[in-house]
Structure 1
Amino acid sequence: MELHHVGIAVTDLEAAARPYLELGYVREAEGTVESQGVRVVMLRSGSSRVELLEALRPDSAVARFIEKRGPGVHHLAFHTPDIRAALARLEAQGAPLVDREPRPGFGGHLVAFVHPRWAGGVLVELVQE
């Protein structure tokens, strides 16, 4: 699997985007994922993507993350052509899945998360475009 993007939890999307835009990144997409309670800006430079996540409500996972740890790297996301097969393989290997079934994510992609304890404290997201 290739790295799809790095997800960063932020408190202000516009302020957080500024340094990346100054580095030459461009806004690839932006919008909301109501089911996850976040506003998203996807920035891209070549094949590199940074996803900025701002909480829409205090009970969202991103809001809880920021409350506990402060703004910063939230997850690493990896592209997979078959998310269900990837989840089945990881589960068979004993990976602690947050999602046993994929769910709708930003941009209409299917996503699923693997618990941070599997990857040394890093939340892993699988993305099927």
Structure 2
Amino acid sequence: MDDDTSGGPAADYLTGIGLLGIDHVGVAVPDLDAAIEFHQRVFGMRCVHTETNPEQGVREAMLRVGPTPDGAEIQLLAPLTPDSTIARFLHRRGPGLQQIAYLVADVDAACAALRERGVKLLYETPRRGTAGSRVNFVHPRDTGGVLVELVQKA
């Protein structure tokens, strides 16, 4: 494996996608309010954003880890309806890790680069994500079973 600090081939490969880092980790939960309370009480996380996203079929909350504004975040996702994607996930697998989200500079460019590499994306064009971000997802069959979200902040 190439060392990406050398500016060699690994760095060039990532540059084509515009990968900036890990944005958040998504966790599917059956009850958003109970999950927020648990993470705040047990881990001391701070809920920094909540919203309902009918397009994605979820109620969601972003919880920050650590004292700084740029700390890592956990996204809690609860189903809006019994037929939503998160509801189906909970039915099949139960509560738990649902996705990892990578922050990208330009989600359209990242999608194009990944398609050129033979990767299947869930949406033809990016959709609205948390707090007005633009998102798309890499199909888990192409990532070893892990749902990968690409996030371009608003």
TM-score normalised by the shorter chain: which range applies? over 0.9
Q: Secondary structure at the match of 2:55?
A: helix
For residue 23 of structure 1, report the CA deviation from its aligned partner.
Answer: 1.6
Asked if the contact 1:28–1:42 (Cα under 8 Å) also holds between the matched residues in 2, the reply is: yes
Misfit runs of 4+, over 3 Å: none
- 1:86 paired residue among 103, 107, 110: 110
Asked if the contact 1:38–1:54 (Cα under 8 Å) also holds between the matched residues in 2, the reply is: yes
TM-score (norm 1): 0.95
* Cross-structure match for 1:29: 49
Aligned-partner residue type, residue 113 of structure 1: F
In 2, the alpha carbon distance for the partners of 1:111 and 1:35 equals 12
Greater Cα radius of gyration, structure 1 or 2: 2
- 1:40 paired residue among 53, 60, 80: 60
Is it true that 1:61 corresponds to 2:85 in the alignment? yes
Q: Secondary structure at the match of 1:75?
A: strand
When the two chains are superposed, the root-mean-square deviation of aligned CA atoms in Å is: 1.1
Q: Secondary structure at the match of 1:54?
A: strand
Is it true that 1:110 corresponds to 2:129 in the alignment? no
The alignment of Structure 1 onto Structure 2 pairs a total of residues equal to 129
Q: Percent identity?
A: 46
For residue 18 of structure 1, report the CA deviation from its aligned partner.
Answer: 3.2
For residue 37 of structure 1, report the CA deviation from its aligned partner.
Answer: 1.2
Q: Secondary structure at the match of 2:122?
A: coil
In 2, the alpha carbon distance for the partners of 1:117 and 1:101 equals 19
In 1, the alpha carbon distance for the partners of 2:146 and 2:37 equals 25
TM-score (norm 2): 0.80
In 2, the alpha carbon distance for the partners of 1:79 and 1:52 equals 17
For 1:19-66, what per-residue CA distance to the aligned partner results, in whole angstroms no more than 9, with x for missing partners? Answer: 421322101100100111110011012421000000010111101111
Asked if the contact 1:87–1:100 (Cα under 8 Å) also holds between the matched residues in 2, the reply is: no
Where does the alignment leave 5 or more consecutive residues of structure 1 unmatched?
A: none
- 1:72 paired residue among 84, 87, 96: 96
Q: Secondary structure at the match of 1:77?
A: strand
